Amino acid sequence: MPTNGNNGSELAVSAEGLVRRFGDFTAVNEVSFRIKKGEIFGFLGPNGSGKTTVIKMLTGLLPLSGGEATVEGLNVRTQAEEVREHIGYMSQNFSLYNDLTVFENLTFYGRIYSLSPERLKRRMAEIVELNGFEPYLNRLAAQLSGGWKQRLALGCAMLHEPQLLFLDEPTAGIDPVARRQLWDLLFELSAHGITFFVTTHYMDEAERCNHVAYIYFSKLIADGTPEELKKIPEVQPPGTKRIEIDTSEVTRALRLARTIAGIRSATIFGQSIHALVAEDIDLSSLRLQLQKEGIAVNDIRPLAPSLEDVFVELTEKHRATAEVAGG
């Protein structure tokens, strides 16, 4: 039984059959997943599906009604205090003190984690260097832009060198450049072995994660790498496949494609058309059909479903089974 955070395990988080009930309501129902060290774990699900409850359970704020969980090798039931020493947490509103300066915010969090003055000084220098806070050290947090606030919040959460960070919707409400920069930073840090537990509503962010899980009505309905999830048989309705038609005349091609037998549905996606087609459709005859109408087809290739497709399919399937089960 490991008693401190530095066990040899490959797992940053292990959750087995997590259950949390509030009275009659089961907020988290038999949720299990494992997060390897250094992974970026994307935790998705609609609001109210139990995401926050899972985070609260893993950070030791909410007692488990059932199941077991270890975080950084520590049992969250019995070692909640130690768990909180070993993790960082950034909430979606960045939780900074607006009337304190950048320097003061960092100092406060340094002291919260009882860093020695030397270590605080060293870590502060590293965080300032990493994020380029130098010119802003004496600026009030209130005067920072959204992107800078978020970087400062992340800096505060990382000051004590946690090996696991919980980021609750880290990119809500910030501009695309800052969003891109944050993800670059996450990749850089994860390359150094830091694990991230990220909740998000953005599908493109989910695609970037090494590992994705989707929670829906208290139950985990998907868990795996984005590639694995796209190969789940249920995601593809039986007898169909997805293709991408690369063409320069998307609008006209779409109108035509919708008349062709064997094409179930089609949507424009940038400079191409994504279509769900019958499995036995002949791609070369499809190309001929389009070219006959004078449309230049650059390429037709099979297409893996997007994560959005995956979640849409799984949600609908789950809803259908829930309705059957419920009568």
Q: Which stretch binds other proteins (CB under 8 A): 83-91, 123-131, 169-177, 178-186?
A: 83-91
Residue 106 in tokens: 């960092």
104 lies in the binding site for other proteins (CB under 8 A): yes
- In this chain, which of 24, 99, 118, 323 binds other proteins, going by CB under 8 A? 99
Q: Which stretch binds other proteins (CB under 8 A): 64-72, 87-95, 267-275, 285-293?
A: 87-95
Measured in whole angstroms, how far is the alpha carbon of residue 295 from the centre of its chain? 39
CA distance 32 to 58: 12
62 lies in the binding site for other proteins (CB under 8 A): yes
Helix axis angle, 117-131 relative to 146-158, nearest 10°? 150
Query: Which residues within the stretch 190-219 sit at the binding site for other proteins (CB under 8 A)?
Result: none
Helix axis angle, 176-191 relative to 146-158, nearest 10°? 20
Residue 78 or 114: which CB sits closer to other proteins? 114
CA distance 186 to 192: 10
312 lies in the binding site for other proteins (CB under 8 A): no
Binding-site string for other proteins from residue 2 to residue 41, where x marks contact by CB under 8 A and - marks none: ----------------------------------------
- In this chain, which of 29, 49, 59, 200 binds other proteins, going by CB under 8 A? 59
- In this chain, which of 3, 17, 78, 97 binds other proteins, going by CB under 8 A? 97
61 lies in the binding site for other proteins (CB under 8 A): yes
Query: Which residues within the stretch 155-194 sit at the binding site for other proteins (CB under 8 A)?
Result: 166
- In this chain, which of 100, 172, 281, 283 binds other proteins, going by CB under 8 A? 100
Q: Long-range contacts made by residues 134-142, C-beta under 8 angstroms, separation at least 24?
A: 136/102, 137/101, 137/102, 137/103, 138/101, 138/102, 138/103, 139/101, 139/102, 140/98, 140/99, 140/100, 140/101, 141/96, 141/97, 141/98, 141/99, 141/100, 141/101, 141/102, 141/105, 142/98, 142/99
∠ CA 128-131-135, nearest 5°, is: 60
CB of 99 vs other proteins, minimal distance in Å: 4
Q: Which stretch binds other proteins (CB under 8 A): 104-112, 187-195, 221-229, 251-259?
A: 104-112
- In this chain, which of 7, 95, 163, 315 binds other proteins, going by CB under 8 A? 95
Residue 112 or 278: which CB sits closer to other proteins? 112
CA distance 23 to 26: 8
Q: Which stretch binds other proteins (CB under 8 A): 94-102, 218-226, 264-272, 301-309?
A: 94-102
User: Could you give the count of Cα atoms lying within 13 Å of 66 in the half-sphere of its Cβ?
Assistant: 12
CB of 65 vs other proteins, minimal distance in Å: 12
User: How buried is 301 (Cβ within 10 angstroms: 0-12 exposed, 13-18 middle, 19+ buried)?
Assistant: exposed
- In this chain, which of 14, 65, 75, 107 binds other proteins, going by CB under 8 A? 107
CA distances from 82 to 41, 187, 202, 268 (A): 22, 26, 32, 51
Binding site for other proteins (CB under 8 A): 59, 61-62, 81, 84-85, 87, 89-91, 93, 95-100, 104, 107-114, 166
